[in-house]
Amino acid sequence: MPEPEVLEPALESALEPHFEPPELAVHNDSLNLVRAEIISCFACPRLVAWREAAARNPPARFRGQPYWARPIPGWGDFEARLLIVGLAPAAHGGNRLGRVFTGDRSGDWLFRALHKAGFANQPTSTALDDGLELRDCYIAAACRCAPPDNKPLPQEMRNCRPYLERELKQLPSLQVLVGLGRIGFDAAFDAVRAAGLTDQKTRPRFGHGAEAQLSEGLILLGTFHPSQQNTFTGKLTEPMFDAVWSRARAILATNERPS
């Protein structure tokens, strides 16, 4: 069968609105407002085109599946003391299922580690209705749309930064941020600074296990990103990754953020 006849129904199907936006809790309207605005964002034409193109041209294993193909909002515990800042959703992970780090290999690593450290009720993240709950933890990203080659452009990062800034302001219990990879780490610092939550002007130096006190009671940790590029090559091992979440847990056990 000629390729266009095979692909065309999948194209149409993929872009139909199969998903409703995730159900929004009602006890924090401001954080919900940020989430709703993220889902509706079309500010970066290149990324809008890419997130929809991924839905039109899925790999064979996902062909025929509906795709979310929209920006991915932050999610988790609205009273979280821990905020994780990732890079961006994967084209066929979060961009497919509508939740960041869901349905991809990075998520396998992340949720296994979060579960071990007590920040998630289960070690896997496979679908919006998989029962996963974050505990004392909220997950956001530097860029909310899947970018080509996992590399958002500087302007796209700037377009997206206000969302993270606003989330920071709406997480009143926040004490620890963990930046995944250099981009997540730098984006976390930039957003903290833009939100007026630190007086520091220069970015702390990123590295695996990096730790920076941004203000009294607010600490930024860094870890290598749990991408396949890092985990397959052994640059990031499971004990290395676990150690970061253990450190976050230890800080939360002793840290007090002034009210």
Interacting residue ranges for ligand SF4, rule: CB under 6 A: 38, 41-44, 47-48, 71, 143-145, 156, 159-160
Q: Which amino acid is at 136?
A: D
Q: Give 38 or 191: the residue with its C-beta nearer to ligand SF4.
A: 38
Smallest distance, ligand SF4 to C-beta of residue 217, A: 29
Q: Give 89 or 222: the residue with its C-beta nearer to ligand SF4.
A: 89
How far is the C-alpha of 48 from the C-alpha of 3, rounded, in Å? 25
Neighbour-count burial for 43-67, b at 16+ CB within 10 Å, e otherwise: ebeebbebbbebbeebeeebeeebb
Q: Give 18 or 158: the residue with its C-beta nearer to ligand SF4.
A: 158
Smallest distance, ligand SF4 to C-beta of residue 51, A: 8
Give the strand pairing for 82-86 and 176-180: parallel
- Angle at CA 123, nearest 5°, toward 76 and 74? 20
Q: Which amino acid is at 108?
A: D
Q: Give 38 or 192: the residue with its C-beta nearer to ligand SF4.
A: 38
Greatest Cα-to-Cα distance within the chain, rounded to the nearest angstrom: 66
Nearest partner of 126 among 94, 88, 78, judged by Cα: 94
Smallest distance, ligand SF4 to C-beta of residue 137, A: 22
Smallest distance, ligand SF4 to C-beta of residue 255, A: 30
Compute how many other C-beta atoms are within 10 angstroms of the C-beta atom of residue 123: 14
Smallest distance, ligand SF4 to C-beta of residue 49, A: 10
Residue pair 139/86 in contact by the 8 Å Cβ criterion:
yes
Q: Give 51 or 115: the residue with its C-beta nearer to ligand SF4.
A: 51
Q: Give 151 or 235: the residue with its C-beta nearer to ligand SF4.
A: 151
Q: Strand order in 218-223's β-sheet? A: 75-76, 137-141, 82-86, 176-180, 218-223, 211-215
Q: Give 194 or 240: the residue with its C-beta nearer to ligand SF4.
A: 194
Smallest distance, ligand SF4 to C-beta of residue 93, A: 16
Smallest distance, ligand SF4 to C-beta of residue 64, A: 26
What is the sign, positive or negative, of the torsion defined by CA atoms of 18, 165, 148, 132? Answer: negative
Residue pair 216/257 in contact by the 8 Å Cβ criterion:
yes
How far is the C-alpha of 81 from the C-alpha of 238, rounded, in Å? 23
